[in-house]
Structure 1
């Protein structure tokens, strides 16, 4: 499996345009392309997915652990012959905390490129550059011996003469120019406070933007040279969602699990044998041997009905990971996606997942679907397990920007003046359908809204702020876990397993009544 990593010296250089265009252009000439994004970005993968015709996925060493990056890469690249990995920020930019020593930053594009053993194509915004570009490229090429620059794509080139000067600078440091893209303002994709507008919301305009990116790259980049450059030296097995939920992946969860043995003992594994093997295809349903003891089955046979878990989707709930649905399915659940802007709660729902997104952009429409809001509130009151992250938290508050919401969380929310952004090392403050009190997890915040009323009485998470202050965040209520904190399910499969187990218990209790 060959890969190329698209990086840049800094944010705003055009990585998304080049990476999306590369995916589409390489697909046009017959490659089966797997698209990836470094870090906790939920928007760029939507455009990658449109270009590739398959889900865009994330590779985030911070949220899943660096030991899972290669297995997740191999899982997401199943059936493909080439992968395009879009980086995050500048090539060497990543998480900086009290443990940062000046080495390659955790979560950086450089770290992921090194883990994959893949070459880097550096996208340079050519505006303002001339011969001094050679010095910049020399620094990036020699800064870390574990990262190999394979070539340069010049972006936003002003003229033929400008291109000649830039090519000469690249030749001086021995880096081939793989493409030269002219300045085209019409390629700008509309953005808002958290970045690009998600492809789901942008509709036909997103499709047109992806087609334009593909045309641009196809016309100005040497696709044969890029494909020939692609390499990967990974040798680890692919990640398997069925093995992950059964505790067989051989990788420690990113959470420091406390009381995990008790949780494992409460779950019956397929065939009663934790060493039995399972198989899966990305996006498919993982299956294993049938259990005949009538207990909860993880990854059970196709004719066994599992609990129905409704996952919010549509324009207001676009932030999520493909691996989440795969893990829910592998854990024995039936997953149904619905749109809270228009739909009812699916009949027979035993668990509800409300992922992140932009509810503040659709607050009036969400409020207008009052029947769903009442159904969600009633379900939560009766103990249905609910996992709500960011947009999900906002949906469960009493109001969002003055529009009535579900009222499950005793708080009000509003759009705020500042962006909250960054990784968090959080501790679960109490038991919930997903986490055990004292369990540690790495998450990520990414929002401009804020809780404007008194904070909930039962916070979900605690962590230390940048100045060492104690922060408590989120809300617990019955079987509801609501928080601004985004977590990656592949890094915490035990939480998914617990959630599905709780949905089975809820469904059983309702059936008895």
Structure 2
């Protein structure tokens, strides 16, 4: 397993665009595996578009370190190189005293070199000082090169080359400031019109046209590894799970689906946006995505919502995460319009509510939810507000994070649960175990 970590001096330096552009260009001549440090669905979707391979998240908060490494080995199988996109600045993590949760921690864990992306707007020798500081801060990190973004012209570029030569760092290339490379407007990170995603990918490719791809490949290295075959508990249940996949429901960790499959669960994908009927299944897993952008279309698929209500009444297992949970509410309010939803929970969702980015969650099961037990780790995105009715019951007490209301999350009804929290199957030893017992 050999690869490289594309890290930044901070947020907003161009890591995602440059990482994805590199994946796309290199995938034309080799098999490239993408990874993302931390919890994220949007960047990994770009990676998948660029490489044709499922990108995976590497997160040491939700997963033990040894499991993180196994995910990297598992995901890299059959790939020539792996490209890991970092999160925030190289050394930013959960603490100011150590590197836990940082890109630096992942680079050391995987044994990969680091290429540092620097935003050099209005900087020349100061950019070299920043890079030198990053190089000396942690001697266990091998910063093997830099990519310099936001170059204004030839004079700026020449000064930067001289400054970087002075500190002895490989410059893999410089990215000129160019309005034609602007990424199309996005909704919460991903384009509203998925047909524009190809244009976005093309823009990212153009950003890396002048980079030295041969040198990038040459500096990649990593440890010798063996195949991983013990990520999941294996069973032969013969169960089925219906999983919607379209623009409204597109946020799933690949490992969650693989975990189900390892337990002998057959996955039935369908698209509510295309008018598909709800398949008959033992388990219904509704991931997050962008249901708020398609409420009119979803509301016209009456079989979908009615089918969910019937499945709940029949005591089928149902898991709704974030956007999936919103569709399990009685109604969804968007831009002054109220749309009927599945009505499993006596709760109103409002997509014009509070908004804040991803944050980690630690929840404790309070015994009311049969599906999950003990302490649960995950993450949440809050781009909506849910107002539960007075009789609504909750299965989780939030120890860290926002939840739905009053440090509570996980609305429950029979064997159905709806939560803002995205769980990762590898954050626990047997994520699907209790569910298979209930179904059987």
- What is the match of residue 420 of structure 2? 484
| 1:188–1:434 Cα change, 3 Å | farther
Deviation of 1:385 after TM superposition, in Å, equals: 0.3
TM-score, structure 2 normalization: 0.93
Task: Give the CA RMSD over aligned residues.
Answer: 2.1
- Relative to its length, the structure with more strand (as a share) is 2
Cα deviation for residue 478 of structure 1 reads: 0.7
Match for residue 260 of structure 1?
none
Give the whole-Å Cα distance in 1 for the aligned partners of 2:140 and 2:295.
47
3-state DSSP class of the match of 1:145? Answer: coil
Q: Which of 313, 316, 321 in structure 1 is aligned with 2:248?
A: 316
Aligned-residue offset at 1:446: 0.8
Q: 2:409 aligns with which of 470, 473, 477?
A: 473
Contact 1:68 1:239 in 2 (8 A): no
| Contact 2:331 2:339 (C-alpha < 8 Å) held by counterparts | yes
Q: Does 1:79 align with 2:78?
A: yes
1:339-365, Cα deviation, whole Å (9 max, x unpaired): 122333444322100011122222222
- Deviation by residue 1:164-198 (Cα, 9 ceiling, x = unmatched): 1112221222111001111122333334453233x
Contact 1:73–1:238 (8 Å) recurs in 2 = no
8 Å Cα contact 1:409-1:456 kept in structure 2: no
Aligned to 1:26: 26
- Could you tell me which residue of structure 2 aligns to residue 88 of structure 1? 87
- What's 1:294 paired with? none
Distance 1:64 1:346 in 2: 33
Deviation at 1:423, TM superposition (A): 0.6
- Aligned partners of 2:199, 2:184: CA distance in 1, in Å? 12
Query: Structure 2 matches for 1:142-291, cutoff 5 A?
Result: 142-192=136-186, 194-197=188-191, 202-217=193-208, 219-233=209-223, 235=225, 237-240=226-229, 244-246=232-234
TM superposition score normalised by structure 1: 0.80
1:329 to 261, 280, 285: 261
Which of 375, 387, 398 is the matching residue for 1:463?
Answer: 398
1:102 has 2:75 as partner: no
Distance 1:57 1:411, change over 3 A: same
> Is the 8 Å Cα contact of residues 193 and 448 (structure 1) preserved in structure 2?
no
5+ long unaligned stretches in structure 1? 247-268, 270-296, 299-305, 506-513
1:343 is matched with which residue? 275
- Shift of residue 89 of structure 1? 1.1
Equivalences, count: 433
Rounded to whole Å, the distance in 2 between the matches of 1:423 and 1:445 is 6
Correspondence for 1:425: 362
1: distance between equivalents of 2:389 and 2:181? 44
1:227-247 CA-partner distances (Å, limit 9, x unpaired): 011111364x44436x5224x
Alpha-carbon distance change, 466 to 340 in structure 1, aligned in 2, over 3 angstroms = closer
Which residue of structure 2 aligns with residue 69 of structure 1? 68
Distance 1:419 1:454, change over 3 A: farther
Residues 1:390 and 2:322 aligned together:
yes
- 1:283 maps to none
Deviation at 1:420, TM superposition (A): 5.4
1:30-84 per-residue CA deviation (whole Å, 9 max, x = no partner) reads 2211011111110011111111011111111111122211110011111011000
Quote the residue 1:289 is aligned against: none
Asked if 2 retains the 8 angstrom alpha-carbon contact of 1:34 and 1:77, the reply is: yes
2:273 partner SS:
coil
Task: Answer yes or no: is 1:440 the counterpart of 2:429.
Answer: no
Residues 464 and 470 in structure 1, CA contact (< 8 A), matched pair in contact too:
no
**TM superposition shift of 1:453:** 4.2
Give the Cα–Cα distance (whole angstroms) in 1 for the partners of residues 285 and 401 of structure 2: 30
Once residues 192 and 208 of structure 1 are traced to their aligned partners in structure 2, the CA distance between those partners, rounded to angstroms, is 12
Could you tell me which runs of 5 or more consecutive residues in structure 2 were left unpaired when the two chains were aligned: none
Q: Secondary structure at the match of 2:20?
A: helix
After superposition, the Cα gap between the structure-2 partners of 1:188 and 1:456, relative to the gap in structure 1 and judged at 3 Å, is farther
**Could you say which residue in structure 1 is the equivalent of 2:109?**
115
- Per-residue deviation, residues 390-435 of structure 1 (Å, max 9, x unmatched): 1111010001112110000111010214325311121112253531
Structure 2 CA distance for partners of 1:47 and 1:399, relative to 1, 3 Å: same
Q: State which drifts further: 163-172 or 82-91.
A: 163-172
SS at match of 2:140: coil
Q: Secondary structure at the match of 1:374?
A: helix
Rounded Cα–Cα distance in structure 1 between residues aligned with 2:91 and 2:189: 21
Whole-angstrom distance in 2 between the partners of 1:406 and 1:382: 15
Q: Write out per-residue CA displacement over residues 207-246 of structure 1, whole angstroms, 9 at most, x where no aligned residue.
A: 23213322432x21111100011111364x44436x5224
3-state SS of paired residue (2:383):
strand
1:378 corresponds to:
310
Q: How many Å apart are 1:470 and its aligned residue?
A: 6.8
Show CA shifts across 1:266-292 (max 9, x none): xxx5xxxxxxxxxxxxxxxxxxxxxxx
